[in-house]
Amino acid sequence: MQHITPCLGFQNEAQEAAEFYVSVFPNSRIVKVMHHTAATAVPAASAAGAVATVTFELNGQRFLAFNGAPQTQFTMALSLVANCDRQDEVDQLWERLAEGGQAHECGWVTDRYGISWQIDPTIVEETLRGDDEASMERMFLALTSMQKLDVAALEAAAAGR
Sorting pLDDT into bands at 50, 70 and 90, what band is 73?
confident
Domain enclosing residue 55, as ranges: 7-67
Helix segments in the chain, DSSP class H: 14-24, 87-98, 122-129, 133-143, 151-159
The number of beta carbons lying within 10 Å of the beta carbon of residue 99 is: 12
Confidence (pTM)? 0.90
Together in a domain, 121 and 57 = no
25 strand-pairing partners: none
Together in a domain, 92 and 131 = yes
Residue 43 reports pLDDT greater than 70 = no
Dist CA 100 CA 73 (whole Å): 17
Together in a domain, 83 and 155 = yes
Together in a domain, 63 and 132 = no
Together in a domain, 47 and 89 = no
Average pLDDT of every residue of the chain: 92
The answer to whether residue 100 is domain-embedded is yes
The answer to whether residue 74 is domain-embedded is no
- CATH code, 21: 3.30.720.100
| Per-residue confidence (pLDDT) for residue 36, from 0 to 100 | 86
In this predicted model, what pLDDT tens digit does every residue of 125-152 receive, in sequence order?
Answer: 999 889 999 999 999 999 999 999 999 9
Phi and psi (nearest 5°) for 32? Answer: -160, 140
| Per-residue confidence (pLDDT) for residue 19, from 0 to 100 | 99
The answer to whether residue 72 is domain-embedded is no
| Per-residue confidence (pLDDT) for residue 68, from 0 to 100 | 84
Together in a domain, 89 and 145 = yes
The answer to whether residue 131 is domain-embedded is yes
Tally of domains within the chain: 2
Sorting pLDDT into bands at 50, 70 and 90, what band is 55?
very high
The answer to whether residue 98 is domain-embedded is yes
3-state SS assignment for residue 148 = coil
| Per-residue confidence (pLDDT) for residue 78, from 0 to 100 | 95
The answer to whether residue 120 is domain-embedded is yes
- CATH code, 144: 3.10.180.10
Together in a domain, 17 and 53 = yes
